[in-house]
Amino acid sequence: MYYRPVKSERKVQARFAEPIKALIEESPSFGYRTVAHLLGFNKNTVQRIFQLKGWQVRKRPIGLRPRIQSMPSVATAPNERWSTDMCRVWAGRDGWATLALVIDCHTRELLGWHLSRSGKASTASSALEHALIARFGTLGRVPKPFLLRSDNGLVSNAFEI
């Protein structure tokens, strides 16, 4: 008669677990790769300790965002629907820069733009401010509400309009 050998319970060495626990209590968003790099430990060892102790960082939910393709994009008049987007452009010796654009979907006219070295939300909001001033004169004189569309990028979700 054959009996499969029983594996012993996996042990965690305190010399690894204590500094790891101290670091993740200080910065709970760090994953095993970051912790391994900062402490100079093997990443496989750190990952095994994370799994055994239940310290894994939660995975981000993969939710569906509404896509632009799912909604019809038909503007029947100017100032009814505007669209905004950001892209990275090479600026020669200055390196990479972020270009934010705002266009009118009916006339395909470029209403506002802003070029920035950083791709922050202020770049997108500045392009929108330039478009509002160019089209209406001031920020407060918008005659009727309009729809502003974007590609739901990180910067688009980072600022409030």
Q: Kindly state whether residue 80 falls inside one of the protein's structural domains.
A: yes
Q: Are residues 126 and 80 in the same domain?
A: yes
Q: Kindly state whether residue 96 falls inside one of the protein's structural domains.
A: yes
Nearest one of 22, 15, 59 to 41, comparing CA atoms: 15
Range of the domain at 24: 14-53
Q: What predicted TM-score, i.e. pTM, was given to this entire model?
A: 0.53
Q: Are residues 101 and 132 in the same domain?
A: yes
Q: What is the pLDDT along the chain (161 residues), one digit of tens a residue?
A: 788 888 888 888 889 999 999 999 998 888 899 999 999 999 999 999 999 998 886 676 776 665 555 566 678 888 889 998 899 999 889 899 999 999 998 899 999 999 998 878 888 889 999 999 988 887 777 788 888 888 767 666 665 54
Q: Kindly state whether residue 127 falls inside one of the protein's structural domains.
A: yes
For the chain, the helix, strand and coil percentages under 3-state DSSP, each to the nearest 5: 35, 20, 45
Question: Rounded to whole angstroms, how far apart are CA atoms 71 and 152?
Answer: 13
Contact 39, 46 (CB under 8 A): yes
Complete DSSP assignment for 111-127: EEEEEESS--HHHHHHH
Domains: count for the chain: 2
